[in-house]
Amino acid sequence: MTTRRLVLTRSAAIVGAASTGLLLPQIARAQSGKVRVGLMLPYTGTYAQLGVAIENGVRMAIDEKGGKLGGREIEWFKVDDESEPSKGVENANKLVQRDKVDVLIGTVHSGVQMGIQKVARESGVLSLIPNAGVHAATRALCAPNVFRTSFTNSQPTLALGKPMVDRGHKKAVWITWKYAAGDDALEGFKESYTKAGGTIIKELGLPFPNVEFQALLTEIASLKPDAVACFFAGAGAAKFIRDYAAAGLKGRIPLYGSGFLTEGVLEAAGPAAEGIITTLHYSDSLDTPRNKQFRLAYAKTFRLQPDVYAVQGYDTGQLLVQGATVVKGNLNNKQALYKALESAVIDSPRGKWTMSKSHNPIQDMYLRVVEKGENKVIGIAAKALADSGAGCKMA
């Protein structure tokens, strides 16, 4: 926005506010000239660590480009969504209605994302999804103002079935938390595993974020499958890995998973995680200058090792910087902004990726194994994998 237009907008807002007594948040917004960025992430509960990693990544990407968006300073707003779906709409509205953010970055949990999606579709606020892979967000409920920088829940598992069958595991048990992320992950696993000639002999589940795995592990032992495949993440994933070993299943029935199983949890899971094979769009050991530089910088800044969540946050920051630069900080120039986001090429630590028509990354899936406390790449399980985007009609 030019200085002159900004001045006019401000005067109009002040006149309006004076006559109605309303619009105070808008005045404050225009006067400060800052871009209002809302973070709606879990900072408590089983996904707390994921929320922190995403925020770190977002901030790092923006700081690397001077800490501004299209030349404008940033004002940050934060809400802890607790991974609680029943508060999803209310929490999103705290940022959109109360704080009047220009962009809402969030969240991790697919159920909570559905609340954000509703608010994003109704308000038109720019919504950047840094993790939650719920299919609907970039399929039937896709929207011009919603962009995902992470994955759909079935992308990793669409790449998982074949490597399992290639290793001779033709009878598998599937186990997950029963919510959208687990259901969507199963959709991808079913498709890839059965297509490769495998049979899922049992689907097991428990409610999120329950971690009482014992009865289900006993059932797995009695079913005697060739392998187990699963979706778990965060602190619950670390416990599942430890319980799996403690139940005597490690070494007897190979454990596979959507790669979130072993992301950010390897220290907590300890030796029980060694040998687990997963598929994901990132690996610690990607031997590229881009990944090495990112990992060094992240470790130096936060005194933590980055994981896939940090990468997704980082790419969210990169996308936002790119879009804001094109529109010179005027995020109200929606047509130009969306065009810039749609055509962005993100030079990610995971490898370069682009947006699909339904606003989800087209990206490689890596086959990884946990070795000496690290997710090591052992192959590419799928090249330039795009989600189907089924049912997406951009308004």
What is the Cα–Cα distance from 302 to 58, expressed in whole angstroms? 13
Residue 151 C-beta: closest distance to ligand BEZ, Å: 8
Residues at the site binding ligand BEZ, with contacts judged by CB under 6 A: 108-110, 131-134, 153, 181, 233, 260
Residue 186 C-beta: closest distance to ligand BEZ, Å: 13
Contact between 173 and 153 (Cβ < 8 Å): no
> Which position has the token pair 């979130």?
260
Residue 341 C-beta: closest distance to ligand BEZ, Å: 21
Contact between 250 and 217 (Cβ < 8 Å): no
Residue by residue, DSSP assigns 309-365 as HHHHHHHHHHHHHHHHHHTTT-TT-HHHHHHHHHT-EEEETTEEEEE-TTS-EEEEE
The two three-digit tokens of residue 181, written as one number = 């992320």
Residues in the chain: 395
Q: Residue 41: which H helix or E strand, with range? A: strand 35-41
What is the Cα–Cα distance from 173 to 282, expressed in whole angstroms? 25
Among residues 236 and 349, whose Cβ is nearest to ligand BEZ? 236
Among residues 110 and 375, whose Cβ is nearest to ligand BEZ? 110
Residue 265 C-beta: closest distance to ligand BEZ, Å: 11
Among residues 35 and 185, whose Cβ is nearest to ligand BEZ? 185
Among residues 94 and 148, whose Cβ is nearest to ligand BEZ? 148
Residue 22 neighbours by CB under 8 Å, 6+ apart: 16
Residue 349 C-beta: closest distance to ligand BEZ, Å: 18
Residue 17 C-beta: closest distance to ligand BEZ, Å: 41
The two three-digit tokens of residue 357, written as one number = 């028509």
The two three-digit tokens of residue 83, written as one number = 């991974």
Among residues 133 and 161, whose Cβ is nearest to ligand BEZ? 133
Among residues 69 and 108, whose Cβ is nearest to ligand BEZ? 108
Contact between 63 and 120 (Cβ < 8 Å): no
